[in-house]
Amino acid sequence: MNDEGLIKLIEMLTKDKGLSENLRYKLRVAIDPYTHIIIWHNGDMEELADYFEENAEPEDNVKYDRSQIPHAMEMMIDAHDASMGISYDTLEYYLDEYCRDYDEE
C-alpha cells in the first residue's frame, strides 16, 4: 500500500465512532502535512533516572520507580506550557515529582 492508500485508510479510521478521541487526534495529526511534532519518549526520562541514580551521593539514596514514568510523562504533557516548551529540566521536575522513591527510614 502506498502513502495515498494509507492516508485514505487513516481518514476512514478517524470516522469510526468507537475510536477514542486520543487515538483519533493522533491519527489526524499523523496525516496533517502542516503539523510538526516534537517527541519525548519514556526512555528519555529513564535515561535521566539512570543518570541521577548513578551520580548521586550514596547517602542521598536516589531511586526512581520506573513503573511511574508513563504517568509522569502524561502529566508533563497535559500540564506543559507551550510558551516555555519541554526541556530536560522539565523532565527532571516530573521525574522527581512522580517517580522519586523516597525510602521510609
User: DSSP assignment of 2-32, as one string?
Assistant: -HHHHHHHHHHHHT-TTS-HHHHHHHHHHH-
Measured CA to CA, the distance from residue 66 to residue 99 in angstroms comes to: 7
pLDDT tens series, the chain, 105 aa: 898 999 999 998 888 888 888 888 888 888 888 888 788 999 999 999 999 999 999 888 899 999 999 999 999 998 988 899 999 999 999 999 999 998 744
Is 0.75 surpassed by the pTM of this model? no
Q: Contact at 8 Å (CB) between 13 and 27?
A: yes
Rounded Cα distance, 49 and 64, in Å? 6
pLDDT at residue number 43: 97
